[in-house]
Amino acid sequence: MELTIAPQSYRPSDESLILALKQATLAMSQMVSEETTLDGVIALTNSDAPLIRQANRAASWDGSPESLSQLLEHFAQQQLNALVIDSIAPMLDETQINNAIKQGYRADTRQLLVMSKFKPYEAMNTDLQVIPARAAYREVKA
C-alpha cells in the first residue's frame, strides 16, 4: 500500500511553531501531572515526582505579577516548587522577567530550529516499505 505525502503548501510562522512546541510540552506534562487552571496561568503538579521539571511546571503564564503570586501560592500549598514557568507570549518584557527573577527564577531562551531549504525527493523509493514493528517481529527475533 502506497502512502501519499501531502505537499507543504505554506511556511508556518515563527509564532505558530512556538505555539506548537508549547502545546506539545503541555500535552506531555498533562500525562504525568495534575492540571489546575488558575487566573492567568496553568499549574501542573505531581507530588510523587517533586524534582521532575515536566511534572511540576506552569504553562501559559500571562506575565502578570498577580498570576505569578497565585501560582507560587498554589505550589506552596502542595509543598512543591514550580520548576519551570512557560509564558503564553513568545517573549516577555523586562518588567515580567524582573518579577520572576525576584521570586528566584531566571530567564531562559531556547532556540527552535526549522529546516528551511528542505527539498522533497523527486522520485519515491518504491523498494522501501514501512510496516508496523509487530509485523516484523519474526524477522527481528531471528
Q: Are strands 41-45 and 57-61 parallel, antiparallel or unpaired?
A: antiparallel
For residue range 51-87, what is the model confidence (pLDDT) as tens digits?
Answer: 999 999 999 999 999 999 999 999 999 999 999 999 9
3-class secondary structure per residue, 60-97: EECCCHHHHHHHHHHHHHCCCCCCEEEECCCCCCHHHH
Pairing of strands 84-87, 57-61: parallel
Please determine, for residue 138, whether its predicted confidence score (pLDDT) is greater than 70.
Answer: no
**Which band of pLDDT confidence, cut at 50, 70 and 90, is reported for residue 1?**
low
Query: Which strands make up the sheet holding 34-38, listed edge to edge?
Result: 34-38, 41-45, 57-61, 84-87
| Residue 120 vs residue 13, higher pLDDT | 13
User: Does the pLDDT at position 136 exceed 70?
Assistant: no
